[in-house]
Amino acid sequence: MTIYLEFPKGFLWGGATAANQCEGAYNVDGRGLANVDVVPIGEDRFSIITGQKKMYQFEEGYLYPAKEAIDFYHRYKEDIALFAEMGFKTFRMSIGWSRIFPKGDELEPNEAGLQFYENVFKECHKYGIEPLVTITHFDCPMHLIEHYGGWRNRKLIEFYERLVTVLFTRYKGLVKYWLTFNEINMILHAPFMGAGIYIEEHEDANQIKYQSAHHELVASALATKIAHEIAPENKVGCMLAAGQFYPNTCNPKDVWASLQEDRENYFFIDVQARGEYPNYAKKKFEKLGLNIEMTEEDLILLKEHTVDFVSFSYYSSRVVSTDPENVEQTEGNVFASVKNPYLKASEWGWQIDPLGLRITLNAIWDRYQKPMFIVENGLGAIDTPDENGYIVDDYRIDYLRDHIIAMNQAINEDGVELIGYTTWGCIDLVAASTGEMSKRYGFIYVDRNNDGTGTFKRTKKKSFDWYKKVIATNGTDVN
């Protein structure tokens, strides 16, 4: 039995979820409709989340998994008790914006929505679990999309400011760790799901996406400012869909292409962590003929209110080639990637690369020197219960073990500063890219199927006890 070096004292072990993928209760207690509600399971989902097909309301013949999801809204006490049993130090979850402001532009918040999250946070604290809260995990009230065009409109900064002010005030003393936007770079890849943007055919997609990104970046800096003003102990992080790009060959053209691809993603964090638009981005805007409207005040806000820590999701590394004709692409990824012959892949074609996590941790650390937090990592897999309803998910344990060892090496051998790790979908939930329930990540099985059938019953998988041991030994026993 190999025993590894300990993780830092106080390391935040836990799990992660998002409101729209687990809460359900989409129209309960005054909640308004959001973009994340109207994305169905099935073959149209991809074109809807990426903004190629417009769907602004529920349509006949489609199934919308977020409507009920796993019913966390009514079962959070049972779920948090299970997280506590595993020894979670932290629980990452998100706020459904339209629970707090059903339309998004009201002046007064919806008390029932505020009360719900207060109850959840108090339930966490009952067990000594520190909430880690994503302010928006892909969601945007539909009213803001239909009447303002989503984040393409500068007005959204004002509505977001109102939202965060209410949250920081109400949850002062209950929540300390905040993330402003989940996977902020997703705006480039899935603009409808990521930022409530639908791009018309005649429009310049880059202009709209980068203008919207600017609005989110300013909103993020403003949130950081307000969080610190309301409670100095607040820690605010940015959140990147990470995963280093590898050149397909040592041809300098491939190496250059991989640098460009990395920059496309790091651009967001460069602004949020360093406080200004990098030169390469300004040059890119010039080259593309983009005119991103920004004020002097925006630039001051960005400069003065950088994030306290850098968080990211990591599932896979990526590969880029300048010879696309002669390479094979992976399937099932919002981020396009060339297949890496050295790696195995999940049932959904996501390539498995634990060393890639160490590489990514080092790259982010070298770039920013800010504390890091891995807020998503995990394996989406098909789980088949045995005759007793038990799931022996050794494949998930193997995936997580290898990634935890990579984190351990990055901390203890490379010296990066990592403050926590929350595995994605610690309880089975709806997959964001496909809307499937069958793509499961959890330590806890939820009896819910793609077609909306099932009892919502929760059952511990084999990985439940394994993760409990990992946490109890602070990462030294991962066998």
Range in contact with ligand BG6 (rule: CB under 6 A) among 44-52, 54-62, 357-365, 424-432: 424-432
Residue 431 as a binder of ligand BG6 (CB under 6 A): the answer is yes
| Cα-based distances in Å from 423 to 23, 93, 121, 129, 460 | 18, 12, 19, 15, 16
Range in contact with ligand BG6 (rule: CB under 6 A) among 161-169, 409-417, 432-440, 448-456: 432-440
Between 41 and 302, name the residue whose CB sits nearer to ligand BG6: 41
Amino acid letter, 340 = N
Q: How far is the CB of 350 from ligand BG6 (least distance, A)?
A: 8
Between CA 258 and CA 269 the distance in angstroms is: 17
With 0-12 CB in 10 A as exposed, 13-18 as middle and 19+ as buried, what is 466?
Answer: buried
What phi and psi, each to the nearest 5 degrees, are found at residue 305? -130, 70
Q: How far is the CB of 441 from ligand BG6 (least distance, A)?
A: 7
Between 407 and 432, name the residue whose CB sits nearer to ligand BG6: 432
Q: Which residues are catalytic?
A: 376
Range in contact with ligand BG6 (rule: CB under 6 A) among 50-58, 151-159, 399-407, 430-438: 430-438
The site map against ligand BG6 for 319-358 (x = CB under 6 A) is ----------------------------------------
Q: How far is the CB of 429 from ligand BG6 (least distance, A)?
A: 7
Burial 265-300 (b: 16+ CB within 10 A, else e): bbbbbbbbbbbebeeebeebbeeeebebeeeeebee
Between 220 and 434, name the residue whose CB sits nearer to ligand BG6: 434
204-243 positions binding ligand BG6, by CB under 6 A: 241
Instruction: Tell me which residue of 294, 134, 131, 306 sits closest to 224, measured CA to CA.
Output: 306
Amino acid letter, 410 = A
Q: How far is the CB of 72 from ligand BG6 (least distance, A)?
A: 14
Range in contact with ligand BG6 (rule: CB under 6 A) among 98-106, 110-118, 399-407, 429-437: 429-437
The site map against ligand BG6 for 149-188 (x = CB under 6 A) is ---------------------------------xx-----
Q: Contact 247/258 with Cβ under 8 angstroms? A: yes
Task: Rule CB under 6 A: choose which of 212, 306, 311, 313 binds ligand BG6.
Answer: 313
Non-local CB neighbours of 28 within 8 Å, separated by 6+ positions? 73
Instruction: Tell me which residue of 92, 107, 93 sits closest to 12, measured CA to CA.
Output: 92
| 185 C-beta neighbours (distance < 10 Å), count | 21
Q: How far is the CB of 190 from ligand BG6 (least distance, A)?
A: 9
Task: Rule CB under 6 A: choose which of 52, 249, 322, 433 binds ligand BG6.
Answer: 433
Residue 380 as a binder of ligand BG6 (CB under 6 A): the answer is yes
29-88 positions binding ligand BG6, by CB under 6 A: none
Between CA 170 and CA 145 the distance in angstroms is: 26
Between 22 and 226, name the residue whose CB sits nearer to ligand BG6: 22
Q: How far is the CB of 415 from ligand BG6 (least distance, A)?
A: 28
Size of the site for ligand BG6 (CB under 6 A): 14
Instruction: Tell me which residue of 272, 283, 247 sits closest to 262, measured CA to CA.
Output: 247
Q: Give the β-pairing of 344-345 and 351-352.
A: antiparallel
Task: Rule CB under 6 A: choose which of 124, 307, 397, 432 binds ligand BG6.
Answer: 432
Q: Contact 87/139 with Cβ under 8 angstroms? A: no
Residue 18 as a binder of ligand BG6 (CB under 6 A): the answer is yes
Q: Look at the block and give the residue holding tokens 């892909």.
A: 138
What phi and psi, each to the nearest 5 degrees, are found at residue 360? -65, -45
Residue 424 as a binder of ligand BG6 (CB under 6 A): the answer is yes
Q: How far is the CB of 66 from ligand BG6 (least distance, A)?
A: 11
What is the contact surface with ligand BG6 in residues (CB under 6 A)?
Answer: 18, 21, 182-183, 241, 313, 376, 380, 424, 431-434, 439
